[in-house]
Structure 1
Amino acid sequence: MNSGNLIINYLVQLRNGILIFNLFIFIFLNLACGEGKLPSKDTGEWETAVKENIDTTVRVYGRYAAVKLPIRNGVKLWNPTAIAEGPGGVMYVANYTGEIFSLQDTDGDGLEDFAKLYCNVINDSLRYPTSMVFRGNELFVATTQEIRVYEDVDADLIADKSYTFFNDFPYTMHYFDWTFGLEFGPDGYVFAILCTDALNDNPAPDPNRLRGSILKIAPNGQSHERYATGLRYAYDLAFNEKGDLFFNDNRGNENKYEELNYVVKSGFYGNNPNKYEDQGKAIEPFLRLQYGYAPVGMDFNDKLNDFDRTSGDLFIAFYGPDGQWEDGSISRVHLVKNEDGTYEGKEFPIADKIAKLSDLEFGKTGDLYVSQFGTEGAYHIPYKNPMGAIYRFIYMPSIEPDNPKDNTAAVEGNVHHGEGVFKSRACMTCHSIDGSKQLLGPDLGGIGTLLQGGQLLESITDPNRNIKTGFDHIKIKKNDGTIIDGRMVTSNKEYIVMMTIGNEEIKIGRKDIQSSNMIKTSLMPEGLLNGLTDSDIKDLLGYLRSLEGVN
């Protein structure tokens, strides 16, 4: 070997030695600081820490400890959206405000207490990270404008570099333009959901009709296809062990139910039919969810994770009704695949009285991590102050479950007289009760299973407080000075369709529109209960509570 080769060989060995030394130092520092490790259940403080942090206000319907993680330091929780398991089983969370952070156990008691900043999408001029998934060491993040990848090269739990993976889709900075449901398919392709633009008063040009669809994107991000259409605000999708794909969707507009859908390639799922009029008959949801309102994140439990006899089941988080800040829940669905390839499912409650959830994911520990979004600001923007929490549901045989939620609670009042009050106050002018048609206000079928009596009363007496998404008050001024009040049914670059008082649909060409604004007041008038006796009001609420749900 000549002297030149000897020198090169020496330098290579020296470099490798330095790398090994640096790796040793990194591991030592992380062990010393409690970072990058899985929380341990073998510590003496484990059971004490769990008991001290159980949120006893949460109702659980299994042997679960609903532990509210004591995140005391690091990144402030500010409307947490997505949660994902990263390398080594470390859990990562995204804030609606842009920060993405890992959860660390710094005091060794087995519960995460520190949020370590991984990256901030705002630094890349991106908005609303609403879904995340890891591929090895790369974190894929769905935002309003693009899917971006962040990578921690030196394994210090801080992203060192990032790049745009995919941005070939239409968007605006409207508060309804979200990207949801990031997931890798069995073939390595990336699946994502673009929520509908039907309620965007000035949507981006969409010649390929991608919004309101599931996209299938090549592993390198260089090509994509529209995989299924007709989605509303479908927050999440998930593959089961058989490689079959499911997504949930929210009730409203053409969607009559809180839905769980089995994905058929090129299938049309019913929302915004004006946009997808050539897609044929809509596929009905194979399961109508009934243990929550507004499904959000979901995840399949591993077949090897018992978790109180729920292995292989699908877990779903629910945000809860708009404006009802104390509501939210979790359910699970046991799925069975028939010989003809169709699915059947049965839903069971897991927890409720856990307000405004956004996502959930099973961790390597076998526990279920849940992000609590909390109160949001007007127009679906982050709240003015940090808000939210992370829960960790832990199976503990010693815990006694609460009694199952009763969706058929006894109805108080004279239901027959209450129906008369409902009609006499012209409520049925704006509200259907069986999902059969679209009117100015939301359908009230099953409203009694969604809202309790006090919440129903509040929705009537203070209609401006809780306005359902999709039924916002829009005021359009035309070039000729005409004012049109109502709610938006759908829109595109050529026209807007409005539902006005009297349930008249009006198509307005965009060239005729001078301005379009969302009004903070509800289309539902105040004072609807004026002149009624306490008995009348009780009977009206009894009637609403008695309505048979579309579920």
Structure 2
Amino acid sequence: MTYSFKAEIPLVITMLFTVLLLSCGRKEKTFQTKKSVWEETITRHIDTSVRVYGHYAAVKLPITKGVELWNPTQVTLGPNGIIYAANYTGEIFSLHDTDGDGLEDYAKLYCDVKNDSIRYPTSMIFKGKKLFVGTTQEIRVYEDTDDDEVADLSHTFFNDFPYTLHPFDWTFGLEIGPEGYVYAILCTDSWNDNPARDSEGLRGAILKIAPDGQSYERYATGLRFAYGMRFNEEGDLFFSDNRGNENKYEELNLAIKDRFYGNNLPKYPNHAPITDALLNLKYGFAPSGITFNKKSNDFGGTAGDLFIAFFGPDGQWEDGSISRVRLNKGENGDYEAKEYPVADKMAKLSDVEFGDHGDLYVSQFGTEAPWHKPYEEPMGAIYRMIVAPWVKPDDQSKNTSVVYGNIHEGEDIFEDRACATCHSVDGNEALLGPDLSDIGNLLPRDQLLESIVNPNKNIKTGFDQYIITKKDGSILSGRMITASDKGISVMIAGNKVIDLKRSEIESNKLVTGSLMPADLLSGMTEMEIRDLLGYLQSLKIEN
């Protein structure tokens, strides 16, 4: 019997082709199964109350094991691609996925700064295996030497700066420069009624600290509450800052050595000309942490963009947002900047950071206690923004609220009720109350009404009430303008600024009540209230 292999070739090819098809089909089916499981996992943890302006899933991480989240202040990328976070109450922890679903669910304690008798870890960044932590009293370094994700060494890196235990004395914006220096921001002491002696003007400044922590220089001045600071891949340094005092808007700034950024003029009498903000931010209020997306990470077409977390208006516990800024550097070294919304209705955000896998982590501070102290019980969350093509973006144009009422009649009421005595509407004058030139963007109609009816609920930082008792027995009530070890300046009713020497003051107390009376709408008709709110809604600034 003669066997013809040639005759069997077509049959063999057909069988091989069939096997390949079946194999490919099984692989494709497996891939689709894995994809659907991941989508299902993501969908199960999406916070549907968050509005997103791109194909992003706002995943609220199911952290149910380990350290309780208690007003998270920071998120940062650590060794081995692990994300670390910090609580306002002192705990610093790493995030881990223990059930294999791809989402972190366990917070492992790395250290607790309370054990070193320091408070408020409000900035942190890794340099290799060393974690630099900015607190009220010092910048401290923690290190895990045996790779178990628990710090076993720590030491003071730098504490040669003025501070008190006033609730507003924070250290922000820790960053490692390209040359290895450590950059930090000491927030302003404008409203500290008894600030530490600061002959060098360090509070309200960026410090550039030597790698060994033994020397420093004052890099730039005139900052307010500048929470976030980051270098881009070109080596340029950027920082965010909050509106208030001389800052008319929420700001993004380019940090340049020896520049003055306009805040707390009395403290810097010989300051350089004021450097304007690079960009007035419009898609959020009270910018906090910032981070750059790598140019190699697409993340929904945002490669190289700067991402900004926003805390939201004081007292509005449901508000907060994320925006991004596209920066283009010209041949002359100047930047052009344009801002885009990413998400909102993410309440009280404190920081943002990209993970090794390209997702964006977001710390949600949550509700705080009076005077920016930790809340009375655990509060807050960590989000992970994940590119999800199946998520339909929200329509940002629908955020514009309808203005009801007669704006012109409302303006007359604003003047007649003496609102203009305490509030400017053009940003050109510092009065007893906050400037309202952009209040229509800041608060929706219902929150505007609430702020008038119950002014004690939402008091903007910097407009807190102080009761000053003088040694002659007289009592003053007003808001702090500036303070030093020599004396204070306080604005009282009528927008009069009183300068007092320390030797004249018996006591100075920060109180919870607002300077604004609570009965301003009494005697007004519903139509008049509608017109007044309509006028306030119309007060908006275009970026």
User: Which TM-score tier does this pair reach, normalised by the shorter chain?
Assistant: over 0.9
- The answer for the alignment partner of 1:237 in structure 2 is 229
Structure showing greater Rg: 2
Amino acid paired to 2:327: L
- In the TM superposition, residue 406 of structure 1 has moved relative to its aligned partner by 5.2
- Tell me how far apart the structure 2 counterparts of residues 490 and 42 of structure 1 sit (CA, whole Å): 59
Contact 1:475 1:518 in 2 (8 A): yes
Contact 1:43 1:110 in 2 (8 A): no
Q: Does 1:544 align with 2:532?
A: no
- Tell me how far apart the structure 2 counterparts of residues 380 and 534 of structure 1 sit (CA, whole Å): 36
- The answer for the alignment partner of 2:132 in structure 1 is 140
Change (3 A) 1:405 1:188: farther
Aligned to 1:365, what secondary structure does the other structure show? coil
Contact 1:407 1:449 in 2 (8 A): no
Q: Does 1:273 align with 2:265?
A: yes
Note the 1:71-90 alignment, pairs <5 A: 71-90=63-82
- Tell me how far apart the structure 1 counterparts of residues 200 and 277 of structure 2 sit (CA, whole Å): 25
- Tell me how far apart the structure 2 counterparts of residues 208 and 420 of structure 1 sit (CA, whole Å): 47
Q: Does 1:385 align with 2:381?
A: no
- The answer for the alignment partner of 1:193 in structure 2 is 185
Contact 2:464 2:515 in 1 (8 A): yes
- Tell me how far apart the structure 2 counterparts of residues 339 and 279 of structure 1 sit (CA, whole Å): 29
Change (3 A) 1:323 1:191: same
Name which of 297, 306, 314 aligns with 2:298. 306
Q: Does 1:158 align with 2:144?
A: no
Aligned to 1:421, what secondary structure does the other structure show? helix
- In the TM superposition, residue 45 of structure 1 has moved relative to its aligned partner by 4.1
- The answer for the alignment partner of 2:239 in structure 1 is 247
Amino acid paired to 2:264: N
- The answer for the alignment partner of 1:515 in structure 2 is 507
- The answer for the alignment partner of 2:253 in structure 1 is 261
Contact 1:349 1:405 in 2 (8 A): no
Change (3 A) 1:437 1:407: farther
Deviations 1:144-171 (A, max 9, x none): 0000011111111111110111111010
Calculate the TM-score normalised by the size of structure 1.
Answer: 0.91
Q: Does 1:398 align with 2:390?
A: yes
- In the TM superposition, residue 263 of structure 1 has moved relative to its aligned partner by 1.0
The runs of at least 4 aligned residues of structure 1 exceeding 3 Å deviation read 41-45, 405-410
- The answer for the alignment partner of 1:219 in structure 2 is 211
- The answer for the alignment partner of 2:11 in structure 1 is none
Amino acid paired to 1:394: I
Deviations 1:473-519 (A, max 9, x none): 00100000010110000011111001000000110001110000011
- In the TM superposition, residue 409 of structure 1 has moved relative to its aligned partner by 3.8
Name which of 95, 100, 110 aligns with 1:118. 110
Calculate the TM-score normalised by the size of structure 2.
Answer: 0.93
Note the 1:168-183 alignment, pairs <5 A: 168-183=160-175
Amino acid paired to 1:46: W
- The answer for the alignment partner of 1:25 in structure 2 is none
- In the TM superposition, residue 248 of structure 1 has moved relative to its aligned partner by 0.6
- In the TM superposition, residue 341 of structure 1 has moved relative to its aligned partner by 1.4
Aligned to 2:184, what secondary structure does the other structure show? strand
- In the TM superposition, residue 279 of structure 1 has moved relative to its aligned partner by 1.2
- In the TM superposition, residue 408 of structure 1 has moved relative to its aligned partner by 4.9
Q: Does 1:415 align with 2:407?
A: yes
Name which of 505, 512, 516 aligns with 2:497. 505
Deviations 1:521-549 (A, max 9, x none): 10000110001111111110000000132
Contact 1:68 1:392 in 2 (8 A): yes
Amino acid paired to 2:448: L
| Seq. identity, % | 64
Change (3 A) 1:242 1:333: same
- The answer for the alignment partner of 2:57 in structure 1 is 65
Aligned to 1:174, what secondary structure does the other structure show? coil
- Tell me how far apart the structure 1 counterparts of residues 137 and 369 of structure 2 sit (CA, whole Å): 21
Matched residue pairs, number? 511
Aligned to 1:274, what secondary structure does the other structure show? helix
- Tell me how far apart the structure 2 counterparts of residues 405 and 157 of structure 1 sit (CA, whole Å): 45
Note the 1:31-42 alignment, pairs <5 A: none
Amino acid paired to 1:152: D
Deviations 1:266-316 (A, max 9, x none): 000000011111112211101000000000001000000000100000000
- Tell me how far apart the structure 1 counterparts of residues 139 and 370 of structure 2 sit (CA, whole Å): 26
Contact 1:79 1:375 in 2 (8 A): yes
- The answer for the alignment partner of 2:195 in structure 1 is 203
Aligned to 2:266, what secondary structure does the other structure show? coil
- Tell me how far apart the structure 2 counterparts of residues 530 and 339 of structure 1 sit (CA, whole Å): 59
Q: Does 1:488 align with 2:504?
A: no
Aligned to 1:129, what secondary structure does the other structure show? coil
Change (3 A) 1:73 1:514: same
Amino acid paired to 1:415: I
Amino acid paired to 1:93: A
Q: Does 1:443 align with 2:435?
A: yes
- Tell me how far apart the structure 2 counterparts of residues 286 and 160 of structure 1 sit (CA, whole Å): 42
Contact 2:401 2:444 in 1 (8 A): no
- Tell me how far apart the structure 1 counterparts of residues 523 and 61 of structure 2 sit (CA, whole Å): 49
- In the TM superposition, residue 42 of structure 1 has moved relative to its aligned partner by 6.8
- The answer for the alignment partner of 1:7 in structure 2 is none
Amino acid paired to 2:280: R
Deviations 1:326-346 (A, max 9, x none): 000000000111222111100
Pairwise CA RMSD of aligned residues? 1.2
Amino acid paired to 1:426: A
